[in-house]
Homo-oligomer: A and B are copies of this chain.
Amino acid sequence: MNDFTYYNPTRIEFGKNKENDISTYLEESSSKNVLIVYGSDRIKDNGLFEKVVSSLNKKNISFKELSGVVSNPLLSKVNEGIKIVKENNIDAILAVGGGSVADSAKAISAGSKYDGDVWDFFIHKSEIKETLPVYTIMTLSATASEMNGNSVIINDDTKQKYAISSVLLNPVVSVINPELMASVSKEYLAYSAVDVISHCIEVYFTASVHTAFNSRLVESIIKTIMETTEVLLENPNDYDARSEFAWAAIQGLNGLTPAGTKDGIFPNHMIEHSLSALYNVAHGAGLAVVIPAWMKWYKNNNEKQFSRFAKEIFSSDDSFAAIIKLEEWFNFIGASTTLESVNIPRSGISPLAQNASELAKVWGMGEVYTQKVIEEILEKA
């Protein structure tokens, strides 16, 4: 087993109506003036926003709003948030939404305590040293942003989709009320399922050192996600399935699965980020395209783990057949697996590979994942 540090100080408040206690949680860190970050007006139409405001009012916590976060969150919106924070003496950021909203809240938190350009953190020009406390109320489960210190943002100008990670950005408290997720569309449920599975398999397949416990943990998450996605496609109001999905999604990227493994990397995310950045493909939709192609390209590098995957997930002795089965399952739940299906023409492969190969360098995998190799992978999609 490889040496590691595991530290995840986020508190999860899981269950019905917990959003009504958000001001109690904010009060614990003495927050008196928060910035509420969200996406569309959907949370105003369905009453969630009012519940939050009513909770804040009870404890005399004042607030400002930042709306309009989109599903591939933009740096321009983050900068808008940082400006509001600095001008209004905001002392905490409250994200109400999905992963994009949480990621934007974290980037705002990092930028609010920094004199330079927040993008410096994303291009590793500067290190995050101080942040504002982040809280979340999640309306979509996929990214595990609610229990990690990661934030992925697209730079509108440069079309780069880059990431930051710091335990200082871990939410202090995240509220997970599965009832708030019941209205997620079937399309986004499918993308979310693909996203969670992608978090699990990246390190599972690419690590040079595996641990039996962590492989089992990954398989437990994948089985739970597949099982509950199928239930939820039939019945979106199944509370238990929605809960299991939400909790398994969190485990997928809260730092637990890679603990003790070595050299694990995120090539599928690296490639997908270009699909999102250049074609504005939803993250999960892009991953559904990239993953089967990457698995076919990569399989022979870790036949042992692919065999294990085939056996545990699909009770199959044929590791190639298992890739096809996963691809079929993605299509079955509504996440298409070809570039064509997400409206990317063959002529798009070269610029995508060029964009991705730049991120590969930033993420330290540029030697293997050259533009040529990424083109080869995308050709399989």
A195 to chain B, nearest CB (A): 17
Assess whether B223 is in contact with A1, with CB atoms less than 8 Å apart: no
- Which of A2-10, A125-133, A278-286, A336-344 has 4 or more CB atoms under 8 Å from chain B? A2-10
| CB atoms of B248 and A213 under 8 A apart | yes
What's the Cα separation between A221 and B18 when bound, in Å?
A: 30
Q: Is A216 a contact partner of B211 (Cβ separation < 8 A)? A: no
Tell me whether B221 and A1 are in contact (CB under 8 A): no
Contacts of A228 in B (CB 8 A): 212
Q: CB-CB < 8 A to A3: which residues of B?
A: 14-16, 18
A195-234 vs B, Cβ < 8 Å mask (1 yes, 0 no): 0000000000000000111001101110110011000000
Query: Do B211 and A244 have beta carbons less than 8 Å apart?
Result: yes
* A243 within 8 Å of B (CB atoms): yes
Q: Is A11 an interface residue (CB 8 A)?
A: yes
Number of chain copies forming the complex: 2
Contact of B247 with A1 in the complex, beta carbons under 8 Å: yes
Complex Cα distance, B213 from A356, in Å, reads 34
Which one of B6, B8, B11, B178 lies within 8 Å of A14 (CB-CB)? B6
CB proximity to B under 8 Å, residues A216-265: 216-217, 219-221, 223-224, 227-228, 239-240, 243-244, 247-248, 251, 259-260
Contact of A260 among B18, B227, B247 (CB under 8 A): B247
Q: CB < 8 Å: which of B15, B212, B224, B239 contacts A216?
A: B224
Question: In whole angstroms, how far apart are the Cα atoms of A223 and B372 in the complex?
Answer: 43
**Given A213-B224, A213-B244, A221-B213: A6 and B12 interface contact (C-beta under 8 Å):** yes
User: Which residues of B have CB within 8 Å of A221?
Assistant: 213
In the assembled complex, which residues on chain B have CB atoms less than 8 Å from the CB atom of A211?
Answer: 240, 243-244, 247
Does A13 sit at the interface, judged by CB under 8 A? yes
In the complex, the chain B residue whose C-beta lies closest to that of A8 is B8
Contact B14–A260 (Cβ < 8 Å): yes
Q: With A9-B9, A14-B3, A14-B5 as given contacts, are A212 and B227 in contact (CB-CB < 8 Å)?
A: yes
Write the nearest CB–CB distance from A134 to chain B, whole angstroms.
Answer: 16
Residues of B within 8 A of A251 (CB): 213
CB pair A6–B1 under 8 Å, yes or no, is no
Assembled-state Cα–Cα distance A6/B220 (Å)? 19
Whether the pair A178, B247 counts as a contact (CB closer than 8 A) is no
Give the nearest-CB partner of A209 in chain B: B240
Q: How far is the CA of A221 from the CA of B216 in the complex (A)?
A: 9
- Find the B residue at minimum CB distance from A2: B15
CB contacts (< 8 Å) of A259 on chain B: these are: 14, 247
Instruction: Report chain B residues within 8 Å CB of A248.
Output: 213
Interfacial chain B residues near A5, Cβ < 8 Å = 11-14
Also in contact, A223 and B216, with CB within 8 A (given A1-B240, A5-B14): yes
| Distance (whole angstroms) from the CB of A255 to the closest CB of chain B | 10
CA distance A224 to B221 in the complex (A): 17
- Name 20 A/B residue pairs within 8 A (Cβ), A-sorted: A1-B239, A1-B243, A3-B18, A4-B14, A5-B13, A6-B12, A7-B11, A7-B12, A211-B240, A211-B247, A212-B228, A213-B220, A213-B221, A213-B248, A216-B216, A216-B223, A216-B224, A217-B220, A220-B220, A247-B260
